[in-house]
Amino acid sequence: MASKGLEDVEATSSKVCYIDGKKGILSYRGYDIKDLSDNSNFEETSYLLLYGELPTTKQLDEFQKQMKENRNIPESVISIIKSSSKDTELMDILRTSISALASSDPEYKDNNHEVRIRKSIRIISKIATVLAVVERTRKNEELIEPNNSLKHAENFLYMINGEKPPEKDSEVLDKCLILHADHELNASTFAARVTVSTLSDVYSAVTSAIGTLKGPLHGGANERVMEMLDEIKEPDRVAPHLDNLLENKQKVMGFGHRVYKTIDPRATILRKLAEEMSSKSPNKYFEMSLKMEEIMNQKKGLRPNVDFYAASVYNMMNIPKHLFTPIFACSRSSGWCAHILEQLQDNRLIRPRSDYDGEIDRIHSNIDSR
């Protein structure tokens, strides 16, 4: 019998990311996620994912230089963004914009390994700019040029808000980008690997991944968490709200995970970040989140996943909830590209089988006799 949702099916071997769901371990290229969030930054982590090793100072300087040089996006893509309807979802615009970037890539038709790495760097750099342009356009505000004196996370906040962000916000967002950068063979990463296994191009694979991440059971879950907190409104309403959801067998967003049988290690790090931020400026969303975690653990034995505390953290940085999932895409682009590169290093077309359980040996009958 087929495993529904391919649960626990090992579809490939990979050196990019390791998860032990029973022990709550997550590592990139052998480096524990807490070690990276404490000591690395998004640019260095992206280098690690793409190349498999931490960079030297010279290598990191060159990598950051390439990222900064590739931040700008062409006018043709800006025109697509500006022509999009106000009702179009941001993830749809992001998906279309990344696809459109392919036509302006100077090495679009070249597909050797080194070129694919350069394309990956362009995508990781430009996707943040695309999102900033979308956000500023939606608010009818003047577009902000990338500031190449700023690092990736800091520049992203600068392009969205039009002013240099507080240092703490830049540090926190940088950690969030690291935490979301990869997560083994999740749905969007699998979609990217399936796409590129046909020998399609890097841009097509990332476009597939963005379309997959859009779904509320994947990247869209963080927005649903914030919507739930907005609906609850106050800490003293947490318990009755959860009771109502559980009694009606409704899903509580941000709890449980297909892989982790204990707490998601990323949620532990995000909870600590939220606690630090809330200690300086009390936040009711974090207070509600703590109460929800306690109740869900007591009543259902469920622990929070990465989406749960990400909502509180982003809220405390004044990032609107409609940007939660697109920011997830900006971060995960580095992981997608790492998996794309790995797939193409030893490629075989991904073509699984299905377990047919329909009828057989049926005979066609004339339409008038049916």
Tell me the three state secondary structure of residue 22.
Answer: coil
Tell me the three state secondary structure of residue 255.
Answer: strand
61's torsion region: left (phi>0), alpha (psi -120 to 50) or beta? alpha
Q: Compute the Cα dihedral for 103, 326, 6, 21 and give only its sign.
A: positive
- Residues recognised as catalytic: 257, 307
Cα 100-50-26 angle, rounded to 5 deg: 115
Bridge partners (DSSP) listed for residue 25:
20
In angstroms, rounded to a whole number, what is the distance separating the alpha carbons of residues 95 and 104?
16
To 10 degrees, the CA torsion angle through 324, 36, 252, 208?
A: 50
Tell me the three state secondary structure of residue 275.
Answer: helix
* CA dist 295 → 256, 266, 306 (Å): 13, 20, 18
In angstroms, rounded to a whole number, what is the distance separating the alpha carbons of residues 19 and 17?
7
